[in-house]
Amino acid sequence: MTGLALPVVLALAVLGLLAGIGITAIGPGGILATIALFALTTLSPAQVAGTAIATHVATGALATVAYTRSGQLREPRTRRAALLLAGVAVVGTPVGVLVNSVVSKRAFGILLGVFVIGVAALVWYRDRRNPAGTGHRQPTTRQLVAVGFGVSVVSGLVGVGGPLLSVPLLVFLGMPVLSALGAAQAQSVVIAGAGTVGYLAAGTIVWPLAALVGVPELAGVLLGWVLARRLPTRSLKYALITSLVCLAPYLALHG
């Protein structure tokens, strides 16, 4: 497939599966799809971001259905947060896509490395600040708009879905973890849709690779949804933090 060696194909599929688990289990996780495409292929920054973000259309839709079924997106406050996040993403995502078009591969690697470290820090701080999941409150409209715009710009630039940053930020602002996961999945559908249109217009989506990563990612989304509701995820969070911290220097130098 696309001239890749079998070990690379397998690695892309496995990282896609892990990305899907991370998306619905803890939020950060979709970055693994971007990391895999950047580190294991010779794609340009635009192709990496476009191919990665295209995979999140289906994963976001499936995760949204899952969190609607489990009740989180039926709650009025969570549904309101999801609508605000998604609405702002219509404006923010194209801005990120536009910025990506002027970023070199070297700069993209550095940005991705810094971004990965930032995500790891957010996940760590979220767990340290509120390990028991108590003390919840509803973020204000202004906070939701700020999160929605900032996250969608970064997502459009790097090629990730909304949960990567939205979940840690929403939990930091006081939203319960499962509610934050549900709202972020709905946002990710808009981010992925708008981003895919932008990168499709530029002709930078490599569809065979999007399928290779995206199909296992869908399976991971369902598995992660089950884990989020039934099992403690602290070990998974720390495994993700460790892997991100270890990968960040490589990504920055790989460009």
User: Does pLDDT of 66 surpass 80?
Assistant: yes
Nearest of 61, 7, 101, 59 to residue 211 by alpha carbon = 59
Domain ranges in the chain are: 6-254
Q: What is the pLDDT of residues 154-199, one digit of tens each?
A: 889 888 777 877 887 887 788 887 888 899 989 999 999 999 999 9
Q: What is the pLDDT of residues 54-63, one digit of tens each?
A: 999 999 999 8
Instruction: Using DSSP, state whether 27 is helix, strand or coil.
Output: coil
- Enter the DSSP assignment of 103: -
Would you tell me how many other CB atoms lie within 10 Å of the CB of residue 155?
Answer: 33
Question: What is d(CA 163, CA 224) in angstroms, rounded to the nearest whole number?
Answer: 13
User: Does pLDDT of 51 surpass 80?
Assistant: yes
**pTM beyond cutoff 0.85:** no
Q: What is the pLDDT of residues 123-133, one digit of tens each?
A: 787 677 665 55
Question: What is d(CA 21, CA 151) in angstroms, rounded to the nearest whole number?
Answer: 20
